[in-house]
Amino acid sequence: MSQPNSIEVRQLCQRVSDSAGHLDILDNVSFTVADGDALAITGSSGSGKSTLLGLMAGLDVPTSGQVLLLGHDLFACDEEQRAALRAAHVGFVFQSFQLLPNLTALENVMLPLELAGRPAREEATAMLERVGLKDRLHHYPRTLSGGEQQRVSLARAFVMKPRLLFADEPTGSLDTQNGEKIIDLMFELHREQNTTLVLVTHDPQLAARCTREIRLSGGKMV
């Protein structure tokens, strides 16, 4: 029996207009992502990768087309409904980490749990220990290395046990050694939690770890 789809992208288009005319950032993109799958979105700079990821997460609205996220038609929902869906089911990991600088590592990981009204300290501590930061709980982001900051970011994303994880160039700010460690850790957590993983990357090594790859060129799938 085939796996259910976590994501369905149907004829997705994103067009912007200026004084010079129209630019198709995405042009009629369609695909599905099965539950528990790992999908890499690749392509050169400007090919539409991050735009596609943002639309799949409902962070932006397309010119036309549909995204079904866990069966929900994202663009039939209003902004508040999309935000609630993300809070309940989606985790994010960014190239620039996106940690809150005035919170410690532990407080950064506790935050989504607290916002969801769940007991936070014990779960957040356990997740930081899982990513190898047992001795960095009370450090602020500015005192952590890039690799350590991305580990905090992974812990914050996975502590909610999301159905879906979107990662935008998760190793883009890291050196090769730290990047490889983050890749290993992200895929370990993906398997442990059976999270559907969708990532944007320029890194062929990272893309090769995924079960599927979609390549974009000029906004089209190739």
Question: What tens digit of pLDDT does each residue of 42-62 get?
Answer: 998 888 999 999 999 999 999
- Quick one: pLDDT at residue 70? 94
User: Which residues in 80-101 are b (16+ Cβ under 10 Å) and which e?
Assistant: eebeebbeebbbbbbbebebee
Show the tokens assigned to 199: 């990532």
pTM of the full structure: 0.90
State residue 85's pLDDT score. Answer: 93
- Where the chain has pLDDT below 70, the residues are 1-4
Architecture of domain 37-49+80-221 in CATH? 3-Layer(aba) Sandwich (3.40)
Q: What does the pLDDT read at residue 5?
A: 84
Q: Nearest-CA neighbor of 198 among 87, 62, 59, 41?
A: 41
- pLDDT at residue 77, rounded to an integer: 94
pLDDT (tens digit per residue) in 14-27: 998 877 778 889 99
- Under 8 Å CB-to-CB from 83, ≥6 apart: which residues? none
How many residues make up the chain in this entry?
A: 222
pLDDT at 20: 77
pLDDT value of position 95: 84
For position 17, what pLDDT does the model report?
84
Segments making up each domain of the chain, as ranges: 37-49+80-221
What integer pLDDT is reported at residue 90 of this predicted model? 94
